[in-house]
Amino acid sequence: MENPFNLFKRTVFPSSLGVDIGTTSIKVVEVKQGDKRPFVVNYGLLESSGYLARANQALQTSNLKIFESDVTELLKTVIREMGTATKDAVASIAPFSAFMTVLDFPNMSQQEMEKAIQYQAKQYVPIPLSEVALDWLKVGESQDDEGFMRQKILLISVPLEQIKKYQRMFAAAGLSLRALEIESLSLARIFGGDPTSTIVVDIGSRSTNIIFLENGRLAWNVQSDFAAATLTQNLAESLGINALRAEELKKERGILGTGPNRELSTIMIPFLDAIINEVKKAQFGYKAQFPSAKKTERMIITGGGANLLGIGPYFEREFALPVVRANSFAGFEHDPAIEPLIPELNPVMSVALGLGMKQFA
């Protein structure tokens, strides 16, 4: 099979779809070439109804097979509602479906590197290499004690079974899957325009993806299972209400924590703190792994969880860093009609927009 990570490098399509299949929702953007920048023609966002009712069973469970047909149906629906004729799609793979590790190599030619990586991969990838698609990128450089340059390589492997499943789902929805990439790369494309050393914290339903960008490029990335759905679950349990109501309350009130909302904040904050702890652990891990990395200068929060009212100031206090909400549409032109929706869409659509940007990057 041709390497699915590279299919897009060769051709340019007139317009393409960026498709982010999240745990609880599917996000799609259609992007074409604009006057100066890529142009967002249209977007679609479909929450998988019933996931709250089904409690923990969501679209992307470890056993996704049961839900493959659900994903296809949702994909068909969202495409139909968008009214797009574009069939070419680029999709992302969640960090919990990929295996990533950083390897350290002396400087060598591209050809030698290919061989060395294959060899090393055997030791690090937990399943046989015949069953995975491998990709790698250089994420850092350093000088060893004797003055020789060494490079850090981020090795990404995705089980072929996972890729085939995506191909099946997209084919069944009448789409042509042109490329797949891990979400972290899509996010790095969206937020990497600025060389400021940045941590991107993508708070999704099921997982929080913590990404370190250096010189605008992906350097390191850690995934945690503490995420936005845990806030809803614990609100429901503590207040003895169903998950749908808890979700509504969470979105309406957030952690602003005054007057009658104080109780909600008190319940949710420990779970937000759990996410914060994971980010702090990731910061330690990053320092250990990349001792010469520049000091992080800002944090970008994204994913649906970044819409929690009050989260920005709370994170700012906890991290003593400027915390900015994602501005994912910044690199695009778009229809003025969607302008009023952009503040809320910014964090939710960042992965899909990163995918939509891929063919223009």
Ligand X SMILES: Nc1ncnc2c1ncn2[C@@H]1O[C@H](COP(=O)(O)OP(=O)(O)OP(=O)(O)O)[C@@H](O)[C@H]1O
Choose which of 213, 308, 326, 345 interacts with ligand X (CB under 6 A). Answer: 308
CA angle 335, 340, 341 (to 5 degrees): 85
Query: Per-residue contact track with ligand X, 225 to 244, x per CB under 6 A?
Result: --xxx--x------------
Query: Per-residue contact track with ligand X, 248 to 267, x per CB under 6 A?
Result: --xx--x-------------
Query: Which pairs count as long-range contacts for 222-226, CB under 8 Å and 24+ apart, including other chains?
Result: 222/278, 222/281, 222/282, 222/285, 222/286, 223/95, 223/96, 224/275, 224/278, 224/282, 225/96, 226/271, 226/274, 226/275, 226/277, 226/278
Quick one: 44 or 204, whose CB is closer to Mg ion? 204
46 vs 34: CA distance, rounded Å: 26
- Shortest approach of ligand X to residue 96 CB, angstroms? 8
Q: Is 140 among the residues that bind Mg ion (CB under 5 A)?
A: no
Quick one: 23 or 265, whose CB is closer to ligand X? 23
Choose which of 192, 204, 254, 354 interacts with Mg ion (CB under 5 A). Answer: 204
Q: Which of 121, 88, 89 is nearest to 103 (CA)?
A: 121
- Shortest approach of Mg ion to residue 303 CB, angstroms? 6
Q: Is 304 among the residues that bind ligand X (CB under 6 A)?
A: yes
Q: DSSP readout, 176-200? A: EEEEEEEHHHHHHHHHTTS-S-EEE
Choose which of 25, 42, 157, 224 interacts with ligand X (CB under 6 A). Answer: 25
- Shortest approach of Mg ion to residue 228 CB, angstroms? 10
Q: Is 22 among the residues that bind Mg ion (CB under 5 A)?
A: yes
Q: DSSP readout, 277-310? A: HHHHHHHHHHHHH-TTPPPP-EEEEESGGGGSTT
Show the tokens assigned to 66: 């049961």
Q: Is 74 among the residues that bind ligand X (CB under 6 A)?
A: no
Q: Is 95 among the residues that bind Mg ion (CB under 5 A)?
A: no
CA angle 267, 268, 271 (to 5 degrees): 115
> Strands, DSSP E only, in the chain?
15-21, 25-33, 38-47, 88-93, 99-106, 132-143, 149-159, 176-182, 198-203, 208-214, 217-224, 298-302, 323-325, 333-334
- Shortest approach of Mg ion to residue 144 CB, angstroms? 38
Q: Name the one range near Mg ion by CB under 5 A: 145-153, 199-207, 269-277, 285-293.
A: 199-207
Query: Per-residue contact track with ligand X, 94 to 113, x per CB under 6 A?
Result: x-------------------
- Shortest approach of ligand X to residue 48 CB, angstroms? 8
- Shortest approach of Mg ion to residue 39 CB, angstroms? 24
Q: Kindly list the residues in this chain that would bind ligand X in the complex (CB under 6 A).
A: 22-25, 60, 94, 204-207, 227-229, 232, 247, 250-251, 254, 303-305, 307-308, 348
Q: Kindly list the residues in this chain that would bind Mg ion in the complex (CB under 5 A).
A: 22, 204
